Amino acid sequence: MQITAGELSKLLNGTIEGDANVKIHTVAKIEEGITGALSFLANPKYEPYIYETGSSAVLVNNDFKPSQPVKTTLIRVENAYSSFTFLLEKFGNPSHQLKGIEPGSIISEKAKIGNDVYIGGLSYISDNSEIGDNSIIYPQVFIGIGSKIGKNCILYPGVKIYHDCVIGDNCIIHGGTIIGSDGFGFAPQADRSYKKIPQTGNVIIENDVEIGANCTVDRATMGSTIIKQGAKLDNLVQIAHNAELGRHSVMASQSGIAGSGKVGNYVVIGGQVGVGGHIEVADGTQIGGQSGINASIKDPDKKWFGTPAIEYRDSMRALAIHRKLPELLKRIETLEKTLKEK
């Protein structure tokens, strides 16, 4: 891609300060800028770099006021971060324009394939499955019987979609992730062994969801495990059977929701957080990393931390006291010694 700063500005409904004819052919961090690169400034702590960057143009917010002369061309937009993201989506990955069916892929005659779909070699598309228009199925993807993939989806190499699962439009699933594996359901027997409970449900992933690499989303015992619209999962996340993750909620790496856990909308879950089974988490909740949620959170829009998790401010006070425990113990021992001497 090669485009002038002026053309970029028109594309983004921005305004130019500097050379509108300077040519852009790549992107770069503002601190690593080179000639021909476009960078962006959204975080004020990176402002010093804008005065020395080698980038030919920089996206800035409309309200940005430089404190010294700027040598690079500025493109002022309403939101520099969002505009930069838009450009990366539009121009950043030419492989997303792939179309056609590669040799070596196996596609059932009973499968329904939409328009302008790409299916990579060694992929397997089962009976009665569906793939929507403009979706990209990379090599070595498996799509099970009766599963449905929506429009404009991207399934990266090695993704496995078991039978009867439903993936909405505009979803991205990264390599190694498995959707629809059996839930962890076993009935204890009198002899202390376990008997497998058939997992007869499915997984429903709504529109605009992104799931990282090596995640697992288990099918429901009955009914559906559901990931709702706009949710985002980091790598190495586990969603158990019959769990629900609400709209536009996010989960960081190595976190998990146990069976029948219900997480609300706009929830932020940090890394290595465990949400217990049959627990509900209210809308807008924020949970700090390595926390354990062993009871339902009913009040919305609060922060929690610790194991078991308590409200964030209380947890910080508790940690402050915890740090002083060695000193307090020493004082107690000194007092005890003094009392014994008396």
Q: Which residues are designated catalytic?
A: 241
Amino acid identity, residue 235?
N
| Tokens 């569906």, residue located | 130
**Separation of alpha carbons 66 and 233, rounded Å:** 37
Residue 60 near residue 76, CB atoms below 8 Å: yes
In the chain, alpha helices (H): 5-11, 47-50, 80-91, 312-341
User: The tokens of 70 are what?
Assistant: 């700027």
Measured CA to CA, the distance from residue 169 to residue 106 in angstroms comes to 23
Nearest to 236 by CA among 202, 271, 201: 271
Instruction: Identify residue 190 by its one-letter amino acid code.
Output: A
Question: What is the identity of the amino acid at 176?
Answer: G
